[in-house]
Amino acid sequence: MRFTGDADAINSALLRISAGADSATGLGIEILDNNDVAIAINGESGFRDLVLNENGDANLTFKLRYKSTQENVHAGQANALLYFDIDYQ
């Protein structure tokens, strides 16, 4: 499984903020796993074998946060498009 989307031009591990007249600049979006370890965009998440609970469910916990990519960050809309890809075998 992996997260895919447009990578930030300055830090390719981050998700790029969507462009627009009122968009924030100088930052990207970072994805973290349940241990607060960063997961790069367009790379493998590190999850290989999922552990199922007694009901046969698997719980996946991820966090997103803004991370500066430049010294100056300018306020505005900070939206992005992120895909969560799962390969089932």
CATH architecture of the domain covering 1-89:
Sandwich (2.60)
* Structure confidence at residue 44 (pLDDT): 74
* Dist. CA 3–CA 40, nearest whole Å: 8
Residues of the chain above pLDDT 70, percent: 93
* Structure confidence at residue 45 (pLDDT): 67
* Structure confidence at residue 52 (pLDDT): 84
pTM: 0.85
Q: What is the arithmetic mean of pLDDT over 17-26?
A: 95
Residue 34 has pLDDT above 90, yes or no: no
Q: What is the arithmetic mean of pLDDT over 7-32?
A: 95
User: What are the residue ranges spanned by the domains of the chain?
Assistant: 1-89
* Dist. CA 66–CA 75, nearest whole Å: 12
